[in-house]
Amino acid sequence: MAKGKKRKAAAGDVATNRQAAFKYNLIERFECGIVLTGTEVKSLRDGGAQLKDSYVTINDGELWLVGAYIAPYPAASRENHAPERTRKLLAHRSEIERLRGRLNERGFTLVPTRLYFSGERSRAKVEVALARGKDLYDKRETIKSRDMAREVARELRDVAR
């Protein structure tokens, strides 16, 4: 990929956490709503968000998104939000309790993978994955398989010419 070109996210995605699939084995994914202020929603519609170093915690039976960056909205000079504030996620109680049980097992964590708008009323949603950290050799295997797939695609493309 040429320098300076930004990779496009899937249709409707505001932000994706591409490092999550490299650093973790994503076991189970689920959708959560997110509590936002007005300037945060406007900034998300402009595409100003990053999930790179963020994670999800469970405090007092509630899910919280920590470390996600939503850029300040330029038109809201004085009434702007804090860019990296902790944000509440909305999920069913039974789902949170099931996740709490899984997180007590060794090596599991919750990682946000996508931030997007969903539904006809266009609500902001976060896709959260239950994940287990990869070992170094697992990361090397991921790189190796990705390179092999790239080589195969390149050969097929050259043969088709």
Residue 8 maps to a domain: no
How many Å apart are CA 45 and CA 6, to the nearest integer? 17
Q: What is the pLDDT of residues 27-85, one digit of tens each?
A: 999 999 999 988 888 888 888 888 988 999 999 999 999 999 998 888 877 888 888 88
What's the pLDDT score for residue 1? 45
**Mean of the per-residue pLDDT values for the chain?**
85
Residue 78 maps to a domain: yes
Q: How confident is the model at residue 129 (pLDDT cuts 50, 70, 90)?
A: very high
Residue 74 maps to a domain: yes
What's the pLDDT score for residue 11? 63
Domain hosting residue 53, numbered range: 13-133
Could you tell me the CATH number of the domain that includes residue 104? 2.40.280.10
9 pLDDT higher than 70: no
Residue 2 maps to a domain: no
What's the pLDDT score for residue 160? 84
* Global confidence as pTM: 0.76
Structural domains of the chain, count: 1
